[in-house]
Structure 1
Amino acid sequence: MPKSLRKIFASVASKVSKNSSSGAPLPELATLKKLAVPPRCVPSRSPTTTGAAAKPAKASPTVSSQVLARLKEAASKNSKASLPSAEDSAVEISRAISSILHGNNDAAGQSSAEPMLKKILDLPWFSNMSHAGTAQWRKDVSRGRKQKYKFKNTESYHFTKLMRMCASKLGTESTLEFFGKLGRETGIKEYNALIKLCIGRARYSAEEDSLVQIHRAYQLFLSMRERGFQIDEESYAPFLMYLIDMKMTQEFEHFSKFFKDENPGSCFRIGYFEMLLWIRVGDEDKIWELCSSLGIGRNEENYSLAESYLLAFCESDRKEELLKLLEVLDISKISSFNHVATIFKSLGRTQLQKFAEKFILELKTTGAGEENISSFIYDYATSIPNLPVEDTISEFNNLHQKLEVIPSTASFDKLITLCCKLSKVDAALDVADRMCQSCSNVSIESFHPILHACEQCCEPNMVHPIYLVMWRHNLKPKGDTFKSMISLCMKLKDFEGAYNLLTDAEEMNEMPTAGMYNAIMAGYFRQKNNCGALMVLKQMEDANIKPDSETFSYLISNCESEKDIGKYREEMQRAGLQVTKHVYMALINAYANFGNFKMAKEIALDRDIPNKFLNEIKSVLVSALSSNGQISDALRIYDEIKQAGCSLEPKAVISLIEHLRTEGELDRLLQLLEELNDSSSWFDGCSRIALYCIQYNIADAAVKLLKQLQKKDESSTYIVIDQIFSQIWETESTNLNIGLELLRAVKEELDLHPSRTSLDFLLSTCAKVKDSQHAWFIWSEYSNAGLPYNVLTFLRMYQALLASGECKAAKKMLKEIEEEDPHVRSIIKSCKMKYRRTISENEDRN
């Protein structure tokens, strides 16, 4: 009977669990030999196999016994750590393989994937057929699997994910055995994935645990040697960089010797890492010793070593040593253009323009190619520190002109991308205009980053200047270009301009597409003009352009009744259109908006949803439920997603944080905050939770969150602090005490000066609660923060004094206010009207 994949998982995981519980030490070289792939699973390696070394494997490692003993000791102590149960490991890894074989992002915990998962697990991977028929059987099975699955043996995201899971559940050694039992040969990419995993874990582990990971990585290197693989830079570089970052000089010296012995051709590149190490630990004597040992010009080997040292100095911007080597090195003899680019970037950071110009001229005479030279000029100009983007462009242009180099379209494109990343759309357009003047082979795609930046930076008004530059240089926009420009016109509410672009597209023989009409339709829907959007649908019909899935996603999202949702679903089905991710999302939001939460949940459970989209779609369901008051259901689905080993999309997390406003939910909110990885989402979530803390008078938690914000972005922390003081003032049951406590924490714990906005809100809060004593305290804080009093400050203080019944002090404050401005007079009059009773009572007493 053939073995199933599940049995293989369970057997390997069981073996690991037994070894772990018995406290057996991690396997050494002898054990790793046993982990070699069985002969019946893997064809014999021929002498010409890619990646295998022709020489026989060496008999013993060259790492010193002292270093090895330290690593073994740590590994043996760690060997008793518990691992997951065999069955759990088997199921989880099987699901991961199911996901990868289907080309999906997440398959864990998805009920719709269970039937297919069972088929995969029961798939026979080995056979008892005769050896004569094995070759043809393998060809047939391979052809069948290629038709069914999208499996690539590369170090892609999916493959790395599988390797990580296997190593986590089984350990690195048993992972090799596991892939061997699958009939898959363990190659260099598999080894590199496992080595990187060990290094990644070591970086986030305590010292003893990190030594265990180093030991495991070393075992993998030994296994590579036993298998006849050459240990090249891609394998050893992450390992050596970790030792450098941790300043582990003894380990570095021994392991670098090991790598040199295994691959003598790596000596020069390892010299680069060696120099980086001594720079990192600040050992000037070692740096001088290595530099003094160079004999540049004597032979090619010394020249290669000098190049490696030069690159290390470039990475570290060691200007003094860099200058000495630059004086004697021939830039044209640098081994690769990537290394030359590194040198020019360092010249920019150290502002060594003289050398940059000298090397450009030398490269011109050696025929390096103008496109490459232009790229080096870009590397230099964009690396100069503290240079505004306009000055960077000027430096780029001036160097090309001075050195008589024609700028390449590739360099211009990189400069455009840089401007767009910095939200400098007008500067990007200037670069594009200059490119069109200088180059004859400009592609319309060069303008796409600019159009995208206009969308991101909310600068739709730039669409007309962009189109003008295209028209002036006779560039013909494509369908996607027209769609982007139409979309920008609609954001400007320039309906005429959008329709003119449709006409221009026809005149340029670029037939209007559904996407172009969709952009107009989306614009009408943004304006809540459903009649206009439906008019566009009629125009598409008149132009014989069939609606696509995007069209229906807009229509469904903006349905005026639940009946319309069903109508559009039927029309899509009749047209034979695919239900895309965006259509599923539109259906969920539409049903939720009409209160049909049962149907919204059913859509998310549709078995036809591709697994790679399921996590996104469930996240939309969470957002739709939470924003429509179904916070309990939203949290339940969130918990299910977490239990399945998946994560919620940032927008859904923010939606949960926004709508989870009941008291006593701080722990849950902090748990949600941990889900956010990108900085912008985390900042948004953190600021919302800080406001929640203020709402329920949890000052200490708010201060802790502000400290976290400050570490990431101090300037943005001021914005959140202003929002907090604003909320204190707006709250119906105003709590001045928490505002004062927060003010103290801002000054003493965060060591920040309160902004004028924060103090203004606090002063207004004092007026609201009629507390003149604290109003005088806040008044003094303006001076302490170095903020001069302005007319609004005087008006707020005048109001606070009137509200507190201190009419005499209010009169004195009124004399400080210039009443020439009519708005100021209006505010004073309003204050007197509001507090006229207090004023009258005060006058009666006097």
Structure 2
Amino acid sequence: MEEGSIKGKKAEIHFKNTESRRFVELMEKCADKLGTKSTVEFFGKLGREMGMREYNALIGLCIGKARNCSNEEDSMVHIKKAYGLFASMREKGLQIEEQSYGPLLMYMIDMKLTQEFQMFSEFFKDENPESSSRIGYYEMLLWIRVGNEDKIRELFDSVGVADTLDSYKFAESYLLAFCESDRKEELLRLLEVMDIWKVSSPKYIKSVFQSLGRLQLEALTEKIILQLKTAGFGEEDLSFYIYEYTTCVPNLAVEDVVSKFINLHQKLGISPSIASYKKVIMHCCSCCKIHAALDIVDHICKSGLDVPFRCFHPILHACEQYGELDMVHPVYSMMQQHNLTPKGDAFESMISLFVKMKDFEGAYNLLAHAKGMNEMPTTSMYNIIMAGYFREQNNYGARMVLKQMEDADIKPDSKTFSYLIANCKCEEDIVKYCDEMLYSGIEFTKYVYMSLINAYAKFGNFEMAKQVVLDKEIPVKYINEIKSVLVSALSSNGQVNDALCVSEEIKQAGFNLEPKAVISLIEHIRAEGELDRLLQLLGELKDSNSWFDGCSRVILYCIQYNLSSSAIELLKQLKEKDKSSTYIVIDQIFSQIWETTPTNVKIGLELLQAVKEELELHPSRTSLDFLLSTCVKAKDSQLAWFVWAEYEAAGLSYNVLTFVRMYQALLASRDLEAANKMLKQIPKEDPHVRCLIQSCKTAYCY
């Protein structure tokens, strides 16, 4: 097939998948408003036939709503709607497969709905008799979940010695249920009557080894591995099963996992596969044990195996993810030791790590190493170094990158110019770089347009920033994103009203403002009386991370203008979504109360009471420390004693700094007698503490 035909076929598949996904999304929205039955009828009238994907999406919607119900009666309303969808599938002649019935049966297992489960499972078996053995898996899970030992024994006994094809299929399903539930006794008995090499699905065998690991049955694991080896299983599969066993053994340090993985292979006479080695490397990296991952790579190299460079990808990713940037040095050393040359993305990742450590010499050395190994550096690699220099505000270093590119005959691209434009020192430079791009025929990408907007806004030329989005060359698919950058640039440079006007234009055009732009508006709308607008903007944030960020900013706005009741309501919403993050925001609130002038202890105490009584949370030490410091600023010893008592109520012991803060509060309010008593309780062995005490006396007494 010609290349053009292949590309055309891929584009056609992509279009069909996108169209189908959009149809499902539209259908779900309709179902949310009209109900599932009306939705099916509505799309039927439009001539759009419902297929398996659409039915499964609607069934999933019903199950999701059932899970969100607070009582069983309401949830059953949605389950009945799901039943209606299954009945509709039957009428249309669609086969009801596991992807359709599985989520519903799992919901009933989770809710321990035994009667409903039996009714639906019989319906599914009638509609698809071949699914009986697979439904047996869900049935066993149900009885395990509700603890019905008689039913478990009855189903187990029904498979006997698993000597027929039918009984073997049921035995496999029960085996999976026992593995996932770690039912040791039944698992061992079933393995005695089953030939493990005859199990039809690798997924089932994988689950067996995972359960053996959790149950720490090493001798049995070795026995089964040898059985599979005798039955003709390939070494790659056996190596994979050893990996699954070792990584599931509880309370095993990562280094011990690696040791056990290697030792089991040696003991059983099996060569570890590169695929399973890579999985162990990823396991080490997920536990932030980068040294252990490197040791495995070293072991592979010394074993004489060809090391695919993809083994380094999870290591480099972990270095960046966990902030272990300096680990790029031993990674690079190992590559040099074993004559390995990084490729593509890995090369860029290493350069990025050197740059983030501000080791620009190391980044350039890596480029020189690539040239020596006949690996040509790319524009993208130089761009990473340039961006790093600009982050350090080293404009000379950034512009020297251009000279290095010229010497290496590497042409700059649109990303290069986007960095240069974003860091221009004057408007004339913006024009100069745009002219260079036009002369060189370099495409103006969305990044260039975004850089132009931010650069003009930085110089206060807001009219030119607005003109950028009017360029007719901007592809339609990027216009909303670029206009959102304009909103952020205007709002962050004090042009909030103009930013709101552009935001309204975006909405009227039927688009949504990008989350970063919404956050920027929330951050920079600081005039009094704007709470309703801020709440409206908050409602536009759909993903949880952006909503959390926006919500915390609106709460701080409420604190700024003494809107305690609104702040508390938002904290309640925040707690429902993410309890642990709520503590972070509460700490920020008390920090802001302490920083605010004039000091407002009253709102601090209101929020403290709300945290305890309405949110049912214990205030953190950080929150109480800020509140006690606020009492110092307010020179209010009465409220300070109230906060002092809250430490004990929250189960927090008094430390040296707590004593010193309380001492400050008593001195500031001129309660000298109580201050002297508090002074006697402060441990004075540390010279820094003595210095603090002297500073307090100087500030409040002398």
Shorter-chain TM range is 0.7 to 0.9
Query: Would the alpha carbon gap of residues 198 and 631 (structure 1) be closer, same or farther in structure 2, given more than 3 Å must change?
Result: farther
Q: Report the residue type matching 1:333 in the other structure.
A: K
For residue 177 of structure 2, what is the aligned residue in structure 1? Answer: 312
Q: How does 1:590-739 map to 2 (within 5 A)?
A: 590-604=455-469, 606-638=471-503, 641=506, 646-676=511-541, 678-710=543-575, 714-739=579-604
Q: CA deviation at 1:559?
A: 1.6
Instruction: Report whether the alignment pairs 1:547 with 2:412.
Output: yes
From 58, 65, 70, the counterpart of 1:197: 58
For residue 175 of structure 1, what is the aligned residue in structure 2? Answer: 43
Q: Distance in 2 between matches of 1:474 and 1:360?
A: 36
Whether the aligned pair in 1 keeps the contact of 2:28 and 2:61 (CA below 8 Å) is no
Q: CA deviation at 1:426?
A: 3.7
Q: CA deviation at 1:453?
A: 2.8
Instruction: Report whether the alignment pairs 1:588 with 2:456.
Output: no
Instruction: Report whether the alignment pairs 1:510 with 2:372.
Output: no
Q: Distance in 1 between matches of 2:275 and 2:186?
A: 32
1:377-407: CA deviation from partner (whole Å, max 9, x where unpaired): 2223333455554554444444434444333
Query: Would the alpha carbon gap of residues 481 and 164 (structure 1) be closer, same or farther in structure 2, given more than 3 Å must change?
Result: closer
For residue 781 of structure 1, what is the aligned residue in structure 2? Answer: 646
Q: Distance in 2 between matches of 1:156 and 1:435?
A: 41
Q: CA deviation at 1:728?
A: 1.4
1:429-479: CA deviation from partner (whole Å, max 9, x where unpaired): 334333434461211122122223323333321211110121222211124
Query: Would the alpha carbon gap of residues 285 and 157 (structure 1) be closer, same or farther in structure 2, given more than 3 Å must change?
Result: farther
Q: Distance in 1 between matches of 2:364 and 2:150?
A: 72
Q: Distance in 1 between matches of 2:108 and 2:474?
A: 46
From 492, 496, 504, the counterpart of 2:361: 496
For residue 229 of structure 2, what is the aligned residue in structure 1? Answer: 364
Whether the aligned pair in 1 keeps the contact of 2:462 and 2:490 (CA below 8 Å) is yes
Q: Where in structure 1 are there 5+ consecutive unaligned residues?
A: 1-142, 181-185, 840-846
Q: CA deviation at 1:528?
A: 0.7
Q: Distance in 2 between matches of 1:455 and 1:391?
A: 25
From 577, 593, 605, the counterpart of 1:740: 605
Instruction: Report whether the alignment pairs 1:160 with 2:21.
Output: yes
Q: Distance in 1 between matches of 2:591 and 2:113?
A: 51
For residue 568 of structure 1, what is the aligned residue in structure 2? Answer: 433
Bigger mean CA deviation after superposition, 765-774 or 153-162: 153-162
Q: CA deviation at 1:780?
A: 3.3
For residue 189 of structure 2, what is the aligned residue in structure 1? Answer: 324
Instruction: Report whether the alignment pairs 1:530 with 2:398.
Output: no
1:339-389: CA deviation from partner (whole Å, max 9, x where unpaired): 212232333344444443332232222222222222222223333455554
Query: Would the alpha carbon gap of residues 642 and 253 (structure 1) be closer, same or farther in structure 2, given more than 3 Å must change?
Result: farther
Q: Distance in 2 between matches of 1:156 and 1:343?
A: 36
1:17-45: CA deviation from partner (whole Å, max 9, x where unpaired): xxxxxxxxxxxxxxxxxxxxxxxxxxxxx
For residue 468 of structure 1, what is the aligned residue in structure 2? Answer: 333
For residue 801 of structure 1, what is the aligned residue in structure 2? Answer: 666
For residue 150 of structure 1, what is the aligned residue in structure 2? Answer: 11
Equivalent position SS for 1:512: coil
Query: Would the alpha carbon gap of residues 281 and 705 (structure 1) be closer, same or farther in structure 2, given more than 3 Å must change?
Result: farther
Instruction: Report whether the alignment pairs 1:221 with 2:221.
Output: no
Q: CA deviation at 1:727?
A: 1.5
Q: Where in structure 2 are there 5+ consecutive unaligned residues?
A: 31-37, 67-73
Query: Would the alpha carbon gap of residues 683 and 379 (structure 1) be closer, same or farther in structure 2, given more than 3 Å must change?
Result: farther
Q: Distance in 2 between matches of 1:154 and 1:375?
A: 37
Equivalent position SS for 1:152: helix
1:57-80: CA deviation from partner (whole Å, max 9, x where unpaired): xxxxxxxxxxxxxxxxxxxxxxxx
Query: Would the alpha carbon gap of residues 265 and 794 (structure 1) be closer, same or farther in structure 2, given more than 3 Å must change?
Result: closer
Structure with the largest fraction of helix = 2
Whether the aligned pair in 1 keeps the contact of 2:335 and 2:341 (CA below 8 Å) is yes
Q: Distance in 2 between matches of 1:286 and 1:644?
A: 61
Whether the aligned pair in 1 keeps the contact of 2:611 and 2:619 (CA below 8 Å) is yes
1:172-230: CA deviation from partner (whole Å, max 9, x where unpaired): 345356466xxxxx69xx422333233324422654752564255224422541xxx54
Instruction: Report whether the alignment pairs 1:296 with 2:157.
Output: no
1:718-764: CA deviation from partner (whole Å, max 9, x where unpaired): 43332222211111122112222333334444444433332222221
Q: Distance in 2 between matches of 1:155 and 1:244?
A: 36
For residue 334 of structure 1, what is the aligned residue in structure 2? Answer: 199
Whether the aligned pair in 1 keeps the contact of 2:86 and 2:96 (CA below 8 Å) is no
Q: CA deviation at 1:535?
A: 1.6
- What TM-score, normalized to structure 2? 0.87
Q: Distance in 1 between matches of 2:173 and 2:443?
A: 55
1:245-304: CA deviation from partner (whole Å, max 9, x where unpaired): 565555544554444344433322222233334445555444333223222333111011
Seq. identity, %: 61
Bigger mean CA deviation after superposition, 355-364 or 489-498: 355-364
Q: Report the residue type matching 1:214 in the other structure.
A: A
Q: Distance in 2 between matches of 1:222 and 1:467?
A: 61
Query: Would the alpha carbon gap of residues 711 and 408 (structure 1) be closer, same or farther in structure 2, given more than 3 Å must change?
Result: farther
Q: Report the residue type matching 1:620 in the other structure.
A: V
Whether the aligned pair in 2 keeps the contact of 1:489 and 1:498 (CA below 8 Å) is yes
Structure having greater relative contact order (Cα 8 Å, sep ≥ 6): 1
Bigger mean CA deviation after superposition, 253-262 or 434-443: 253-262
Q: Distance in 2 between matches of 1:209 and 1:160?
A: 27
Q: Distance in 2 between matches of 1:201 and 1:479?
A: 46
For residue 275 of structure 1, what is the aligned residue in structure 2? Answer: 140
Query: Would the alpha carbon gap of residues 462 and 172 (structure 1) be closer, same or farther in structure 2, given more than 3 Å must change?
Result: same
Query: Would the alpha carbon gap of residues 286 and 617 (structure 1) be closer, same or farther in structure 2, given more than 3 Å must change?
Result: farther
For residue 78 of structure 2, what is the aligned residue in structure 1? Answer: 210
Q: Report the residue type matching 2:164 in the other structure.
A: N
Whether the aligned pair in 1 keeps the contact of 2:65 and 2:75 (CA below 8 Å) is no
Q: Report the residue type matching 2:64 in the other structure.
A: R
Q: Distance in 2 between matches of 1:334 and 1:630?
A: 68
1:125-179: CA deviation from partner (whole Å, max 9, x where unpaired): xxxxxxxxxxxxxxxxxx9999699332798455222233156558234535646
Equivalent position SS for 2:398: helix
Q: Distance in 2 between matches of 1:155 and 1:270?
A: 33
Whether the aligned pair in 2 keeps the contact of 1:556 and 1:565 (CA below 8 Å) is yes
Whether the aligned pair in 2 keeps the contact of 1:728 and 1:735 (CA below 8 Å) is yes
Cα RMSD (Å)? 3.4
